[in-house]
Chain A
Amino acid sequence: MVCRNVGKTWAEGTARAHEALRDIDLDIAPGEFVVLLGPSGCGKSTLLYLIAGLERQTAGSIFAFRDPVEGPSPDRSLIFQETSLFPWLTVWQNVSFGLSIRGAPEAERRAVAREALQRVGLAEAMEKRPDELSGGMRQRVAVARALAMRPKVLLMDEPFAALDVQTRAKMQDFLLDVWRDSGASVLFVTHHIDEAVALADRVVVFTARPGRIKSIIPIDLPRPRDPFSPEAEALRRQLTEELRSEVDRAFAEQEALTPG
C-alpha cells in the first residue's frame, strides 16, 4: 500500500467543507503491521475508508499493489468501528457473505465460515443470529468475516474498542497469530497506546484537525512481547507524550470553536 500526499476534504466546495486529512505519505510493506494512533476526530477512520476505496481522496493518490485504488476490492477488507453484521443472516451466513457474493456453494461457505469462526473461538455460534450475541462476540464475528475473504490488506477501525481488557488481550494474540499465518498487511486504528505497543511494527501518530502524520515510531521488540519490559514501558511513555500535546491542541481548538 502506498499513500502519496493524500488529502480528504469532506463536502468539498460547499460551506460545510471540512478538511479531515492533509498530506498523508505512508507506505505499508507486504506483511507489515501498522497502527494508526491519534486523537478522536483526526481522520483515522477517514484514511481507512480512502484506502478501502469506499471514499475518494480529494488530493494525492493511493496505490494498492502498484494499481491506483479506484473502488473497493476483496483484497482490502475493512472491519468497522461499529458492528455491522446483517441482522437477517445467521452468524455463519454473515461470515461467508463474501463467498456467497462470488456464488460459492453452500458446503464450501459453511466450511470456510466454520474455520474462520474457530479462529475467533465462536464455532459454537454458527447458527445464531447477531442479535443473540454480546457486543464483543459480534466484533469477533466481524473479524472472522474479514478473515474469510483472505484479504491481502486488513483494515481495522478500533475493532476491539468495545471489549474488556482480558478479551482484548486474547483478541490481540489471536490477531497476531492470524496475521503471521496469512501474511497480510494490517492497518490498525486504535486509541489505546498499550494496544499500539503490543501489536505494531510501526506506530503512526496523527495530529488533530486536519489529520497529518506527526511522527512514525518503529517498534522493534521481538514477539511475543512482554508488556512490562522496560523497552515497552519507554515506548508507551514516548507515545503518551506524542499524543498528549495533540489531544491538548484538539481540545483547545474545540473550546475556541464553541464560545461560552
Chain B
Amino acid sequence: MNTDVAGTAVVPRPAPAPSGLSPATRQALARFGWAVLSVGLFAGIWEVLWALGWADEKLLPPPHIFLGNIPDQARFFNTATRWQIGVDANSGPSPYEAVFITIGATGMRVFVGLLIAAVLSVSIGVLIRYVGILEKLVLPTITLLSPVSPIAWLPVAIFIFGIGNAPAIFMVVVALFFHMVLSTISQIDNVNRNFINVARTMGASKRQVYARVIIPAILPQLLIVLRLNLFGAWMVVLVAESTGVGFGLGQVIMMARNTFNPSLVFFTIALIGLLGFLSDWLLRFVQKRVLYWVPETAGVLRGL
C-alpha cells in the first residue's frame, strides 16, 4: 500500500496494479472485506457478551453455537414435505436437500411475486395514464386500498388460494402492487416535459411517446422502487409462510418458536439475511445492465 501511494506521487500516471488485479476486482474485494468485517464485528460483540455471561445462551445463543452444528439445524428443515398428508418426519429428502428446497421455495415465491407485481403494476400504472377513463374508474380504488397493510390480506389469500405457493405469491403481489402503481403514475407525471415535447414536435404519436420516451424515462426510478420493495417482499413471504400458508423459511421460524429452539431461529435469521443480501445484489446487477445510461452517483458521494 505504501509503495503504491509513493509510486503514484512520484509518477503522475496510474501505475499498473501491483497484485495484477483489475481496479474493479480490487474494489469488489475491498467491499467484500468491509462486509465481512462489519458482520464479524457484530458477531464478535455478541460472542464477548456471551463470554462475559451477559447473553444467556438458552435465549440468545451466539453465532458459534447456532452456526456450530449445521447438520443438526438442517434436520428441522424437513418441513419441506411434512405438510403433505401421510409423510412422517424421517422420510423425504436428506437434511441438506431440505434446506435447499426450503430456501428455493421461499426465494422462488419472493421473485415470482416481485416479477408479477412489477409487470402488473407498471402496466396498469401506464394504462391509467394512457387511457383517461381508466384513471377515473380504477385510480380511486387503488388509492383507497394502498394503505391497507399486507397482513390484512392474509385471510383473503388463504380464502382464495388455500395453501401452497399461490397464497404466498399473492401476498407479495398485493403488498407491492398498489404502492407501485401509484409510484409509476407519479413517475410518469414527473417525466421532463421537454423530453415529451421533443418527441411530439418530431411527430411522435401518443403510443410512441409512451413507448420511446416515458417508459425509458421512468425505468430508473421504477427499478429503485422495486429494490426498496424487495425487503418488503421477503418480509411478507415469511409472514405468509409462518401463518401456515405452505412451507418455507417462515414455517421453520414458526416451528422454532413453537418448539422453543432459539438456535434454529437465529440460524434461519442468518440464512434469510444472507438471501436478502444476495437478492439485492442480484437486482442491483440487473439494474446496472438495464440502466446502462444512469451514472453511478456513489462516486460523487464518496468524494464528500
Contacts and interface: CB of A to CB of B under 8 A. Distances in A.
B2 interface: no
Contacts of B217: 86, 88
A149 B202 contact: yes
B174 to A, nearest CB: 32
Contacts of B216: 86, 88
B194 A84 contact: yes
B208 interface: yes
Interface in B78-132: none
A117 B55 CA distance: 70
A45 B294 CA distance: 30
A77 B213 CA distance: 18
Contact of B293 (A71, A97, A98, A131): A131
A112 interface: no
A87 B203 CA distance: 20
Nearest to B205: A101
B34 interface: no
Contact of B194 (A82, A87, A97, A101): A82
Given A84-B192, A88-B216, A78 B197 contact: yes
B199 A87 contact: no
A31 interface: no
Given A86-B216, A101-B212, A54 B202 contact: no
Interface in A84-131: 84, 86-88, 97-98, 100-102, 129, 131
Contacts of A76: 201
Contacts of B212: 97, 100-101
Nearest to A155: B201
A190 B199 CA distance: 24
B196 to A, nearest CB: 9
Contact of B202 (A71, A82, A98): A98
A71 B194 CA distance: 15
Given A98-B202, A101-B202, A101-B204, A84 B195 contact: yes
Interface centre among B200, B201, B208, B217 (most CB of A within 10 A): B201
A245 interface: no
Contacts of B208: 101
Nearest to B204: A101
B198 interface: yes
B26 to A, nearest CB: 25
A149 B203 CA distance: 10
Interface string A68-88: 000111101110101010111
Contacts of A73: 201, 203
A80 B194 contact: yes
Given A86-B213, A87-B293, A101-B208, A80 B202 contact: no
Interface residues of A, number: 25
B197 A97 contact: no
Given A101-B208, A101-B212, A129-B293, A84 B198 contact: yes
A86 B208 CA distance: 14
Contacts of B203: 72-74, 98, 101-102
B220 to A, nearest CB: 9
A52 B198 contact: no
B192 A97 contact: no
Contacts of A74: 201-203
B192 A52 contact: no
A88 B220 CA distance: 10
Contacts of A53: 201
A101 B212 CA distance: 9
Given A82-B194, A101-B208, A101-B212, A88 B201 contact: no
Given A78-B197, A82-B194, A88 B293 contact: yes
A77 B295 contact: no
A97 B197 CA distance: 13
Contacts of A97: 198-199, 202, 212
A101 B198 CA distance: 12
Interface string B168-202: 00000000000000000000000010110111111
For the complex of A and B, 4 pairs with smallest distance between CB atoms: A98-B202, A84-B194, A74-B203, A72-B200
Interface of A: 52-54, 71-74, 76-78, 80, 82, 84, 86-88, 97-98, 100-102, 129, 131, 145, 149
Given A72-B201, A84-B198, A86-B213, 8 more contacts: A54-B197, A73-B201, A74-B203, A76-B201, A78-B198, A86-B217, A88-B293, A101-B212
Interface of B: 192, 194-195, 197-204, 208, 212-213, 216-217, 293-295
14 contacts: A53-B201, A54-B201, A80-B194, A80-B197, A82-B194, A86-B198, A87-B294, A88-B217, A101-B199, A101-B204, A102-B203, A129-B293, A131-B293, A145-B198
